[in-house]
Each structure stands twice: as structure tokens, then as C-alpha cells.
Amino acid sequence: MIKDGAYFHEPFTEDLVRLFFMDKIIYEGKTKYQQIHIFASKVFGKMLFLDKKIQSAQVDEYIFHECLVHPAMLLHPEPRKVLILGGGEGATLREALRHPTVKKAVMVDIDRELVDLCQQYLPEWSKGAFDDSRARLYFQDARRFVEKAREHFDVVISDLTEPLEGGPSVYLFTREFFSRIADIMTEEGIFVLQAGSADPFYHCFLASCARTLKEVFPIVRPYWTFIFSFSLPWGYVLASKKFDPLGLTAREISERFRKRQLDRLGYLYPQFYASIFILPRYLLAGLKKGELLTDEKPFIWKA
């Protein structure tokens, strides 16, 4: 049992560990699928850790979730049906529902206990999104849901945990799974996923996700931003059947921000939108070294 006023050890990898001073322990426990820690920090506010890995912090969760959701949503001219894989805190759902074009947002998370705990202890994340009449919540394995789905979605958002050995996400980043996602997307469909660190050393997962998505989608655009609570630049990958984010004009971007009433976002704004797709040279070089991920050879993050 961890006590207030102690340091929490986050094992990023076997070579890198971070320490967080915990002013107050809010919750500590284990669900059927993962270990959960929620605590309060003077610097970061409330923090959520799953299997001892940080998921989000109150001080900057909006940065992570705005960058995950809005580039894909804004790229689509009229996203009506959205599928969210993971996203237990409810913040991804919150951001998707900001778009007035959305008529239905389906969220699929395997861990009902986690979602309940987030609603109880981290309501600032969802801000009532679970009560929105457009939201549909299913508690089941994301792969099983996608493989059995019969409806089609305009935007699919993957907010899944890292593929740790023995974890629930190992087979949710493979060519086979991405192909099935493409099958349940509309002809103008867009897919986006959070793809881990984009730093100069630990960007192999990001590169491999991008490499694998290129086997399935004609347009694949990695992008990034810096997340303060992660102490790292963080990567995302957008994959599209038809629309290229680099093809949007500044006028189109501004007009979509205006029509979607997104002027109150805390991080993204029209003039900044295109910049997140501009990558440093080390990432451009690293992306060329990405490996093809398959069910036979998935990515396993070594903690």
C-alpha cells in the first residue's frame, strides 16, 4: 500500500524510471485487467496510472486528447458516426462530442471497473460526456467489437493502452486489426491512434504503427506534440481513405474550427493545426525503420 507523501516510481523502460511525489493517494486497486493508481500532485493535479504507466494528468490531459481527436475530426467534412476504442477516462468521448455534426459516438472499453472509477474520481475528464444522448458505451474487447461490427463509422479513434506483454492491447496494433478497422469505415473514413513516445530514442512503436498502417490505408500522416506530464514528445498517426490533412488550406481549417464552434479549445487553434504534422529530421529518419506489425509478430513494449 502506497502512502501519502511518498514517491511513485514509474518504470518507463528498464533503462528509464521517473519519480512523482504524491501529495494524496486517491485510489489504489486492481481490476480484472490492470492495476490502477490515482493520486494528487501539486504540479500535475490528479493523475491516472495503469499498470504503473501514466495515462493522463489534470494539468495537461486536454493537450493529449485535443491532439488525438480533433485533427481527424476536423479533416472529415461532416463526421456523423464516431467509434472510440479505449478512452476509459471519457475525455476522448468529451472531445469528439464537441463536434455538432456528430449524431452517434460509440465508446468501447474492456474495463468497466476502470470507467466507473474514472467517473467517480476523475469527473473533470469526461465533463458529463457519458450522459450525452449521442453517446453509446460498450464494455468488451475492442478487437471482438470491431470484428463483429456491422455499421460503418466516419472516424475511428484509438485511445488504447500500450501493448504490454500479457496486456489487453497487444493485438490491437497489427495489420490484421487495422484492416478490419478499414472495413467498418465509410468511404471517406479516417482513423487515428495514439502511438507512444516520439523522442529520439523510444520512437520505434510510433514508426512501426505508421509502417503497418501504410499496408492498409493510402494516406498515412504521423504527427506529434509535447506532453508535459509525460516529460516526452508524444506521437499519433492519422490514416485516411481519402482526405489528406496536408491538403487542407488555412482558410478551410479556420472555417471548420468556426463552424464546429471549437474556438474554446485549450491547445489547438487554426494557425497551429498544420504545425503538428511537421516532424523533426530524427523522426523522419526513424519512420523509415518501422517494422510491420502482425498478429504473428506484434509489438511488445518492454517496461
Overall pTM > 0.85? yes
| pLDDT of amino acid 168 | 74
Polymer length in residues for the chain = 303
| pLDDT of amino acid 2 | 67
Cell numbers that stand for 299 in this block: 509489438
Domains along the chain with CATH numbers: 6-55 (2.30.140.10), 61-287 (3.40.50.150)
Cell numbers that stand for 182 in this block: 478499414
What does the pLDDT look like over 2-39, one tens digit per residue?
A: 666 788 888 877 788 888 889 999 999 999 999 999 99
Cell numbers that stand for 70 in this block: 480533433
| pLDDT of amino acid 300 | 83
Amino acid at 53: K
| pLDDT of amino acid 172 | 95
What does the pLDDT look like over 165-174, one tens digit per residue?
A: 777 788 999 9
- Average pLDDT value for residue range 200-224: 96
| pLDDT of amino acid 303 | 58
Amino acid at 245: P
Annotated active-site residue in 116, 159, 263, 295:
159
pLDDT-derived band of residue 190, with 50, 70 and 90 as boundaries?
A: very high
Instruction: Name 24's bridge partners.
Output: 40
- The span from the CA of 193 to the CA of 133, in Å, is 25
- Sign, CA dihedral 99-105-107-112, equals positive
| pLDDT of amino acid 3 | 66
Residues 6+ apart with CB under 8 A from 197: 203, 205, 206, 230, 232, 233, 234, 235
Task: Say if residues 95 and 70 touch (Cβ distance below 8 Å).
Answer: yes
| pLDDT of amino acid 15 | 82
Is 159 part of the annotated catalytic residue set? yes
Query: What is the phi-psi region of residue 53: left when phi exceeds 0, alpha when psi lies from -120 to 50, beta otherwise?
Result: beta
